[in-house]
Structure 1
Amino acid sequence: MKFRYFAFLFATFLLLKVTAQSNSKEVLFSVDGEPVYTSEFLRVYNKNLDLVQDESQKDVDEYLKLFTNYKLKLKEAKALGLNEKPSYLRELSNYKKQLANSFMKDTKVTDALVEEAYERISYDVNASHILIKLSEDASPEDTLAAYNQIMKLRERAKNEGFEKVRDEVHNGQTIYGEKLGYFSGFKMVYKFENVAFKTKVGEISQPFRTRFGYHILNVLDKRKSRGERTVAHIMLLNNKSDSLAEKPEVRIQELYKKLNQGEDFESLAKQFSEDRNSAPRGGMLSPFSGGQISVQEFEDVAFGLENIGDISKPFKTNYGWHIIKLYDKKPIPEFKDIKPELVEKVKRDDRSKLIDEALVNKLKKYYNIDDKQLALGYFESILNDDYFNNTWQLPNDFTSEKPLIKIGNKQLSYRDFGDYLLKTQRNPIPKGSYQSIISNKYQLFLNDYLIAYHEDNLEDENEDFAHIVAEYRDGLLLFELMESTIWNAAKTDSIGIQEYYNNHKSNYVLPKRIEAVVASSAKQKTLKKVTKLLEQNMALDQIKKLVNGNDKIDVVFTQGILEENHQSIPKEFEFKKGLSKIYHHNNSYVLIQVKDIFPESQKTFEEAKGSIISDYQTFKEENWLKQLSEKYPVVINQEVLKNVKSQIKNQ
């Protein structure tokens, strides 16, 4: 919960890119005598400029007000000692560790892998494979046997046909033969993906090993990925609470018939779609690619539409019933647009091992570490076969204090590596020469200490990292303060909340509503016929049969309790019982039969409780800020502020 609220409230302080606009140490303002510099304000202002939704916050004076309030809260948080809470320190430490991962990678290697990944996701490969299952720690004998077996299967596949051999040898236990279908980048382990994309269509790969065992694969086809779709939809929700309302599966079929009769998709979406976000735009959704839509049925139907303007048949998802119209289809996005997403995928993938290797090599150079370590001979001399049984101990005359290697300002001794050998002997390893064991262990030991030292000193060695940590440190502290001072307090202050409601009842009212039947048609003449039938008090089901016969839908009826701003009600509609005149609305015509009118009414405390608590929190925070500004006087350097405004204006 903490991360969710924190991300919502302070997203503008948590971007991973910092653009410092000034190195000036001019004091822009002070909080109780503590200076805040121009450089910090300009950095944060410019960084967040494009993220601000409220145009007023782009005004320097308004943004400065927000920024001074932010600093006032931080001052109070520190005065209360919230920055010393164990939970705060623990969460900050976890975040620093996560963030450090983004800064401790070799960017050249990462960029190369990201470019390769983009090429891979731009294509789909269709392949089959045969796997000889083999554990990662298999003995040399078992490894050789598996390799020889896969080589024989490759020869058979070349002579007899891959599919034939694959089907014959598959037993689902030690040998697997599978049709994999089409896949693109990131769908398989990296070693497998590499071979699949480098093998030509129609060819059988050389044997290769992954963590699962030895494989050969046959590439059947390669094709361009299907890219991106832009669609609009009409959606009717499943969870109808109004018992008078028509079933969505019936309504969606009516709308589909109207579309087949040539009626405008956008107009129908505006009138009847219950997706409140897209309905005002005629049902239009933002473009999406494969995997971006959480509802698989929706994605499958969208990508199944081939031609611009195609309309799907009605179909059901967990959210309701839909009809989709295809407006645009595009190939894979441009590299620059998808690069950030690919960077994150590469870091989570097997590819990250290559990045880790590059990082270690870079750190060795940065800290001037020599790969040659003369001390390893000493450790080889004290090792014995007890190491393979987890019973090995350092000798009594072990030279523990002797210097081993220095990383930056940290001196490591023989004791450090000796302890590492003791600790890691618990990890089972096959028997080998003492020289190879010590060499491998030393590389792992050195890698661990290099990365740990670099991470511990990252704030001193990387300015961007230091800025982000500082902003998160303050933002997290502010969360702790707001939670304890405003949010939790406001929720539990039942007397204050009730009093606030009593003083602001006019803010919590139910709007005017009607119980009505709304008839909508593209033809005014048809609605005149409906008017006459309703005047005769004919049942609605009977009217539908008369005006929508022979599989043709001329009129769509909406009935139930409707608010005055309902999408089917024209703005100029006169609220009175009985039949209305025919209105032209949303490129169609509507007729409304009002059965009852419910005037605007006061919401009870329970009905409005959620909104009341939210408003009360805002009210409480505003008063609290006034108290803080009195407790910690804010003094703004007007001359410096004038220069800041000038600098921003000229950017």
Structure 2
Amino acid sequence: MTNRTISALLFTILLAFEFSIPAMAFVQTSGQDDPLLTLGTKPVNKDELIYLLSKGSKSEPGTPGMSREEFNENVNLFINYKLKVHEAEAQGLDLSEEFRREFESFRENLKAPFLIRNSLEEGELRKAYSRMQEIIRASHILLQFPPNSSTEDSLSVLRMALKIEEDIKAGGSINELAVTYSDDPSAQVNKGDLGYFTALQMVQPFEDAAFALQPGQVSDPVLTNFGYHIINVKDRQPNPGQVRVSHILIRINESEANGEDLAKRKVADIYTEIQKESTIWEDIVKNYSEDPASSLKGGMLPWFTVGSMIPEFEMAAFSLTEIGEVSPPIQTRYGYHILRLEEKRPIESFELMEENIRSSILRDSRSTMIQSQVMAIQKSRYNFDENETNVAKLKAELNTTTKAGFAQVLTSKDLNSDQLFTLLGKSYVVQDLADYMAEEEINLRSKAGTFDAWYERFMAAELNKAEEADLAANNKEYRMLLKEYRDGILLFSLMNEEVWQKGLMDSVAQKVYFEKNIQNYQWKNRVNAAIIKVLDMTQLSAARALLEGKPLSDELITSFENSYQTSNSLVFQTESGNFEYSDNPVLSKADINKSYQELEVNGHLHIVLIGEKTKAGPKKFEETRGFVIRDYQEYLDKTLVESLRKKYPVKINPKVKEETFIALNQ
């Protein structure tokens, strides 16, 4: 576990401890009111207290509000919290490199849900999951562009695609036309039939076009990185989810003239054998299947969804309905298969699939599309204005340079001060781009050229900075969340240094504290005893014979436990040791002067053996060190707060305090 993770965990625990009283839903209030408190000379606004108290609260309508007593207690805890943060700042803990790294790491995670990109990504995630509720069967014809194609070449391919579209709409068969015209190599085998697929299994433009069609409809030419596609949707069905099958594979020996006939006869014989009641599927798989990856595992294959396997195999698998049902032999390009259904399950919830969907989206063209949309919104929102004339000139001058030679070319051609764009009224010049490139420890490769690649990256970075600055300045929820985590890290650092580590590591101070407060670490009257709960009453006589009339000792209890644990560990439950008997539910009912007795407590018979008694008295330090450390840390915390209240006198504004109380109870 990293230090950052530990800090985050302890910070969460800290806030839960500091603000333990339930509160109301977050109430928006004006931001520039008189302060609720001043700590020394530092003002603290009431909105911060309202935010912390209401964080995570889900009060139902009609729920009683916070009582005056609860409110006052929370105000007091809030003051202690802010005093510690103030002291951490006074000690310069917010200026340390460790704090900077940790806070920056938190900031990156905290800002993500508030960014424009997040809302666009969320929309794509939901759209993809919505589409995944269906599967589509479609055929297509692909027309690719010739190598190094010109504009006229591209237009020629488009004209051919439009002609094929007309032929299909006039009644032509897309599957027959695919054999003649499609540049998809698989069309010669599948005649353009892609089988069933769902969202995120095709490139985005193809998927968008297919999901916009109803069965029987034909698309206009769809442009993807592969070329132009004509798509004909054949069927749409609800997504059947996932399936798991085991299989037997019989391969076709292509080197033999009658290889296919031999494979067909062999798989037919195996299928006949499977029909016999005495046949064990796993044995048949082991003996005959020619799939080395699965034959020793009963033919078991991983879970798969529609669009994950070759169409013939997939259709056979999803057509099975009963667990254990076996399919007739089917042929694929791998040979002949017999399938057995092992399990089926529906499509998973959005929450379970969200990360996988996100990962798929970020790997395909949707990621580029989202980034383009983000930049378009940022440019509009933050008054971005590009100097198009200069940018066009700089592309021509700088695209052929390298990163290493970029700055030198700028100087030699006197381009350093050429303007690139303005953003929020600030002008950015080529030297700013050069400085950015020098700070980045990566090399970008782009077909467009060095300037294009780095200019796009630089522009995106500055737009992102503008968005984050806008968040910090104008989004109250984000600003409060950021402050909460900043103060939380400082609180953790101060408490770790002044309370937790000091209380844990200073053994001398622990003993001094223990001796000063010895009255808090006292044993009550104790007795050495064994308590045996009888779970099987038929074994009571045997227990009596072993225990009654014998003095209590470790050897006696060990011998008794060994006598039954090897045969039946559920006959008795044994507990032994030195007990404060007045607090023990069984011993408090026992006669401490009687060495053997049987007592019924809470519906169970207990055998009680009584040994040596010890009078009340002080505990040894080693016996209670854990409690001493806990108490000593609480003492250090209390002492710290007392010293901080003297160092930073607290003044509360009664009027604002009352306004806060009213706001929380609205």
Provide the TM-score with structure 2 as the length reference: 0.56
Cα displacement string for residues 248-271 of structure 1 (whole angstroms, at most 9, x for unaligned residues): xxxxxxxxxxxxxxxxxxxxxxxx
The alpha-carbon distance between structure 1 residues 646 and 417, as it changes in their structure 2 partners (threshold 3 A), is closer
Residues in 1 aligned to 2:376 and 2:30: alpha-carbon distance in whole angstroms: 33
- Going from structure 1 to structure 2, the CA distance change for 1:448 and 1:349 (only over 3 Å counts) comes to same
Tell me which residue corresponds to 1:68: 79
Q: Quick check: 74-83 or 531-540, which moved more?
A: 531-540
> Is 1:558 the equivalent of 2:574?
yes
Q: Matches of 2:562 and 2:85 in 1, distance apart?
A: 68
Partner of 1:360: 375
Q: In the aligned structure 2, how far is the partner of 1:164 from the partner of 1:203?
A: 18
CA contact (8 A) 1:13 1:472 kept: no
C-alpha distance in structure 1 between counterparts of 2:557 and 2:416, whole Å: 94
**2:534 corresponds to 1:516:** no
Match of 1:410 in 2: 426
2:513 pairs, out of 500, 514, 529, with 500
Is 1:605 the counterpart of 2:651 in the alignment?
no
1:622 to 629, 638, 642: 638
Q: In the alignment, is residue 9 of structure 1 matched against residue 9 of structure 2?
A: no
Query: Map of 1:435-584 to 2, 5 A cutoff?
Result: 439-491=452-504, 493-508=506-521, 512=526, 514-516=528-530, 518-521=532-535, 523=537, 527=540, 530-531=543-544, 534-535=547-548, 555-558=571-574, 560-561=576-577, 563=579, 570=586, 573-574=589-590, 576=592, 577-584=594-601
Deviation sequence 1:355-410 (CA, Å, 0-9, x none): 55543343233234478944443234325766499899526224221211122243
Question: How many Å separate the matches in 2 of 1:349 and 1:566?
Answer: 65
Q: How far off is 1:544 after superposition?
A: 9.4
- Report if aligned partners of 1:106, 1:362 keep a CA contact under 8 Å in 2: no
Cα separation, 1, equivalents of 2:107 and 2:451: 33
**In structure 2, the residue corresponding to 1:400 is in which secondary structure?**
coil
Asked if 1:645 is matched to 2:665, the reply is no
SS of match in other structure, 1:62: helix
Cα distance in 2 for residues equivalent to 1:593 and 1:119: 66
Offset of residue 171 of structure 1: 12
C-alpha deviation, 1:465, in angstroms: 1.8
Distance apart, 1:64 and its partner CA: 0.8
Partner of 1:94: 105
Secondary structure in 2 aligned to 1:404? strand
For residues 578 and 372 of structure 1, the distance between their equivalents in structure 2, rounded to whole angstroms, comes to 98
1:589 aligns with 2:604: yes
> For residue 633 of structure 1, what is the aligned residue in structure 2?
649
Structure 2 residue runs of 5 or longer lacking an equivalent are 60-65, 136-146, 149-182, 195-246, 255-289, 294-298, 322-342
Q: Secondary structure at the match of 2:621?
A: coil
Match of 2:50 in 1: 42
Give the direction of change, closer, same or farther, for the CA distance of 1:82–1:530 in structure 2 (3 Å limit): closer
Report sequence identity in percent.
21
The offset of 1:546, in angstroms, is 11
Any idea what the Cα deviations from partners look like across 1:30-66, whole Å, max 9, x if unmatched?
3235433333222222226579xxx999810111110
Task: Output the CA distance in 1 between the equivalents of 2:248 and 2:386.
Answer: 46
* Distance (Å, rounded) in 2 between the aligned partners of 1:112 and 1:154: 38
Give 1:113 deviation, angstroms.
4.5
Alpha-carbon distance between aligned partners in 2 of 1:157 and 1:179, rounded to the nearest angstrom: 30
Number of aligned positions between the proteins:
481
Aligned partners of 2:437 and 2:454 also within 8 Å? yes
Residues 97-108 of structure 1 mapped to structure 2, 5 A cutoff: 97-108=108-119
* Letter paired with 1:96: R
- In structure 2, do the counterparts of structure 1 residues 439 and 63 end up closer, same or farther at CA, with 3 Å as the change threshold? same
Query: Which residues in structure 2 correspond to 1:74-85 (within 5 Å)?
Result: 74-85=85-96
Say which one has the larger Rg: 2
Contact 2:528 2:577 in 1 (8 A): yes
* Structure 1: tracts of 5 or more residues without a match: 126-138, 141-147, 173-177, 184-195, 206-216, 225-305, 307-329
In the alignment, the residues of structure 2 paired with residue 378 and residue 476 of structure 1 have an alpha-carbon distance, to the nearest angstrom, of: 49
**C-alpha deviations, 1:185-232, integer Å up to 9, x for none?**
xxxxxxxxxxx55x3887279xxxxxxxxxxx99945999xxxxxxxx
Shift of 1:557: 4.2
Q: Per-residue displacement from partner, 1:591-612 (whole Å, max 9, x unpaired)?
A: 2231535646644223433332
Residues 61/13 of structure 1: CA separation in 2 closer, same or farther (3 Å cut)? closer
Aligned to 1:209: none
Maintained 8 Å contact 2:35/2:44:
yes
In the TM superposition, residue 518 of structure 1 has moved relative to its aligned partner by 0.9
Q: Aligned partner of 1:94: which letter? A: S
Query: CA separation in 2, counterparts of 1:34 and 1:406?
Result: 38
State which of 370, 374, 381 in structure 1 corresponds to 2:396.
Answer: 381
Counterparts of residues 145-544 of structure 1 (less than 5 Å): 151=186, 181-182=302-303, 196=305, 199=307, 203=311, 220-221=317-318, 338=351, 342=354, 346=358, 350=362, 353=367, 356-369=371-384, 373-383=388-398, 387=402, 394=409, 396-417=412-433, 427=443, 429=445, 432=447, 439-491=452-504, 493-508=506-521, 512=526, 514-516=528-530, 518-521=532-535, 523=537, 527=540, 530-531=543-544, 534-535=547-548
Q: Which amino acid aligns with 2:28?
A: Q
Closer, same or farther in 2 for the Cα pair 1:58/1:531, shift >3 Å?
Answer: farther
Change (3 A) 1:421 1:42: closer
- Cα distance in 1 for residues equivalent to 2:625 and 2:639: 21
Evaluate the alpha carbon distance shift between residue 575 and residue 609 of structure 1 in structure 2; reply closer, same or farther with a 3 A threshold.
same
In the alignment, the residues of structure 1 paired with residue 18 and residue 415 of structure 2 have an alpha-carbon distance, to the nearest angstrom, of 51
What residue is the counterpart of 2:37 in the other structure?
A: 29
Q: Would you say the 8 A contact 1:201–1:219 is kept in 2?
A: no
Q: CA deviation at 1:574?
A: 1.4
Residue pairs, 1:127-142, within 5 angstroms:
none
Which whole-Å CA distance do the structure 1 matches of 2:583 and 2:371 have between them?
A: 56
- Deviation of 1:493 after TM superposition, in Å, equals 4.8
Secondary structure at the aligned position of 1:606 is classed as: helix
Give me the whole-angstrom Cα distance separating, in 2, the residues matched to 1:541 and 1:606: 26
Deviations 1:233-285, CA, capped at 9 Å, x for gaps: xxxxxxxxxxxxxxxxxxxxxxxxxxxxxxxxxxxxxxxxxxxxxxxxxxxxx
Tell me the distance in 1 between the aligned counterparts of 2:318 and 2:573.
Answer: 51
Question: What TM-score, normalized to structure 1?
Answer: 0.57
8 Å CA contact retained: 1:18, 1:464? no
Counterparts of 1:122 and 1:566, CA distance in 2: 64
Tell me which amino acid in the other structure corresponds to 1:427: N
Relative distance call for 1:453 and 1:153 in structure 2 (3 A) is farther
Distance 1:389 1:421 in 2: 9
Root-mean-square deviation over aligned CA pairs: 5.7
Structure-2 separation of matches of 1:48 and 1:150: 57
